[in-house]
Amino acid sequence: RASRRPRTPARASSSDDASPPPPPARKGNPGELRLLGDSDLMISEICLGTMTFGKQNTERDAHAQLSYAVDAGVNFIDTAEMYPVPSSAPGWKPGVTEEYIGTWLAKNPTLRKDVILATKVSGFNPQSETGGNRYVPPKPKADCRLDRESIHLACDASLRRLQTDYVDLYQLHWPDRYCPAFGNNVYDASKERPDSVPIEETVAALGELIAAGKIKHYGLSNETTFGVCEFVRVADKLGVQRPATIQNSFCLLHRSFETELAEACAPSNFNVGLLPWTPLAGGALSGKYLKGARPADARLTKYSKFMQRYLNAPSVEATEKYAAIAEKAGVSLATLALAWCKTRFYVTSTIIGATNMKQLEEDIDAFDETKVKLSEETLEAIDAVHFARRDPCMIP
């Protein structure tokens, strides 16, 4: 059977869009507080993802979500310099998501000390609008790399947009070197780049940001086992903190993390906490796309080249089976998918995302054990589907 989480004691500008009012704020804790990897930060089991802020969500929507989540006990917020996504969307502009979070922080200055704020610097992406947006005034385009100058420039730009003088967790969104990611799982040596920025230069730059007080900790994202091991080795060599986290794809349709990556990142080894992104498989694990449905305002309908791997035939087949398990357990499919993430020992905090307040409320409730607790029978049924066809979204 796949690894389960051992239970441990809990540790101590506005838009004129006509958005619906948020549900009444509620005070409470949606789950445990726990240490963020090998850091000293105590985070909630839920992390509020924000990648829709600025495309599918207005600034008013964003502020409502942030306030509701924090009132519900979520203290961890994740964003990135390139957000919102997808970058292929008409009118896309990088940095808008950070700007919305910044205006929310400016309206709620007393909350900054209570919020664990994470953002990300883009990896290898030559001549991109994200790179150009680091400059004042912005340039049309510039290279995104993980060299010393780029990392310092990107961090300063994020701090300006977020209207804060530090971030708690600064993540490398994807590597500077070539490695398969974002739906690719086969390493092609012909794509290696001899001019990749050495990991030593990247770690040294992150150490400088820590020493300057601009970031407290750093993390990896879309990384491999080799990458994790190299970052740890280099950090130890340079006397810099080790990476605290890894933000990788992880959901019922994509469980590849739980093999050798889980071993490397385990608390007994490098203690690098997993922050799963897209735990609902881009919304596919809500069940909204089953039976050929394509809701007009849904992400995978609006953006036909974005995350479509979660709608391939093997994924739909598996999703149908998970939906049946959820029905038998008396919960929604989305609740099942999120509550399952909570049971994995290597998951530190699960990144949720929503485009409306009803979705957000359901996502947060999935972590409340007074409302949802998956039985051993349900967990075994989930594993049976997985072992019959592993990681269906990765099947071409």
Considering only CA atoms, which of 302, 305, 187, 325 is closest in space to residue 252?
A: 325
Residue type, 265: C
CA pair distance 115, 295, nearest whole angstrom:
34
Beta bridge partners of 218: 170
What are the residue numbers of the active site? 83
Please report the DSSP string for 35-67 in residue order. E-TTSS-EEESEEEE-TTBTTTB-HHHHHHHHH
Cβ–Cβ under 8 Å, residues 223 and 175: yes
Two tokens, residue 353: 């995302």
Cβ–Cβ under 8 Å, residues 83 and 50: yes
Q: Centre a 10 Å sphere on the Cβ of residue 285 and count the other Cβ atoms it contains.
A: 28
**HSE-up (13 A, CA, CB side) for residue 326:** 21
